[in-house]
Chain A
Amino acid sequence: GAVVSQHPSWVICKSGTSVKIECRSLDFQATTMFWYRQFPKQSLMLMATSNEGSKATYEQGVEKDKFLINHASLTLSTLTVTSAHPEDSSFYICSAGAGTSGRAYNEQFFGPGTRLTVL
């Protein structure tokens, strides 16, 4: 199956700093990437949909100025948490779509996630 990587896998930062998380599709081109946030023992909540070459589409309630998303190429999307605070501590997961029809069109391939802790 298609492989998606995320970097870093975990990060600890001080309150007020910005953190950038990278999501890469390693063996396919992804026109669309998705960013999710997950709190412990809870479900994945979609934050935004990232389209290559255009602005991201944010879900209701997600601050676009706080969570900056850039999808500069067909294999890379980045999420920057600006001026991070302890309440931003969470598990952030990206996914990418690869196919054009059938199950492949529907399926999303997930990165391994990034655990962010803001002190």
Chain B
Amino acid sequence: AQKITQTQPGMFVQEKEAVTLDCTYDTSDPSYGLFWYKQPSSGEMIFLIYQGSYDQQNATEGRYSLNFQKARKSANLVISASQLGDSAMYFCAMREVDGNKLVFGAGTILRVKS
């Protein structure tokens, strides 16, 4: 069964607008971590934001925020005030405590238009 689902293969957003990238996950483990990574065309994986399953508040890192809805098992990434440099592939990933592996979603390609 797929553990991380990103249903948006590609997204467009106008510069300076906000965009939400969807991510749902599946786990029976009560303790887990959720990550978002950005991968520009250069290929490097850039860590954006982390949410622990027991964290009471939604994570925020600058222009990035994570809309964590535990009951719905969703962890959407919100990018505010989009910039041209935000154009990249974005991956949602999950790590379960029992395993030490990161499981990645299929990714969403984001294109920011000027």
Contacts and interface: CB of A to CB of B under 8 A. Distances in A.
A40 to B, nearest CB: 10
Q: Size class of A's contact patch?
A: 20 to 34
Contacts of A110: 37, 44-45, 47
Majority-rule SS of A interface residues? strand
A115 B104 CA distance: 20
A91 B45 CA distance: 12
Q: Which of B52, B101, B102 has the most CB of A within 10 A?
A: B102
Q: Which 7 A-B pairs have the closest CB atoms?
A: A106-B33, A110-B45, A113-B43, A43-B104, A112-B44, A103-B50, A106-B95
Interface of A: 1, 32, 34, 41-44, 46, 49, 91, 93, 95, 97, 102-103, 106-110, 112-113, 115
